[in-house]
């Protein structure tokens, strides 16, 4: 069965996210999300939707509602964090243990992505936070 994946390019509209060297996070993550969507569809046969496909601001709770209403199997919010060094990290909702199904899926996704980028990125680890898009989504996020 085809998996339904909701990709969430962070920020947008009046919220640029991190800004440095003439670049804005909102623009970079939108480009990354569009390329990821194409790969997931073409290579893996997934059905993929984006929470936004243009430079618009969407409230965090609305991002989760879009995924919930669509019945997504997975949700991934894409960001380029400015603080705390460089590298790659993933987050799961902090009320779920690493032993939960979401924690196990985080390990699979994190390790799979890191294997592809380890020559270019430091592994900053698998983390947990109480973020709206993790807390309010009904699927692994």
Per domain, the residue ranges of the chain are: 4-135
The answer, yes or no, to whether residue 36 has pLDDT greater than 90, is: yes
The pLDDT assigned to 3 comes to: 96
The pLDDT assigned to 130 comes to: 95
Architecture of 4-135 per CATH? 3-Layer(aba) Sandwich (3.40)
| pLDDT interval class at 98 (50, 70, 90) | low
The pLDDT assigned to 97 comes to: 67
Residue tagged 């996070």 (tokens): 25
The pLDDT assigned to 114 comes to: 95
What are phi and psi for residue 79, nearest 5 degrees?
-140, 160
| pLDDT interval class at 86 (50, 70, 90) | confident
Region of poorest pLDDT, from 30-34, 73-77, 118-122: 118-122
The vertex-135 CA angle with 134 and 140, nearest 5°, equals 50
* Rounded CA separation 96/118 (Å): 27
The pLDDT assigned to 1 comes to: 83
Whole-model pTM: value is: 0.91
Residue tagged 């879009």 (tokens): 66
Q: Could you tell me the CA-to-CA distances from 70 to 53, 59, 129 in Å, in that order?
A: 16, 17, 24
SS3 category, 36: helix
């Amino acid at each position: 069965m085809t998996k339904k994946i909701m990709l969430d390019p962070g920020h947008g509209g009046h919220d640029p996210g991190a800004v440095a060297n003439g670049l804005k996070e909102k623009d970079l993550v939108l480009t990354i999300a569009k390329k990821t969507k194409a790969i997931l569809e073409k290579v893996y046969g997934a059905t993929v939707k984006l929470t936004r496909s243009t430079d618009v601001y969407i409230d965090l709770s609305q991002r989760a509602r879009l995924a919930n209403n669509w019945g997504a199997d997975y949700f991934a919010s894409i960001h380029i964090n400015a603080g705390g060094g460089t590298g790659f990290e993933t987050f799961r909702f902090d009320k779920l243990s690493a032993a939960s199904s979401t924690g196990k899926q985080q390990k699979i996704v994190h390790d799979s992505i890191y294997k592809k980028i380890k020559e270019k990125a430091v592994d900053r680890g698998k983390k947990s936070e109480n973020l709206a898009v993790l807390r309010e989504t009904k699927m692994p996020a």
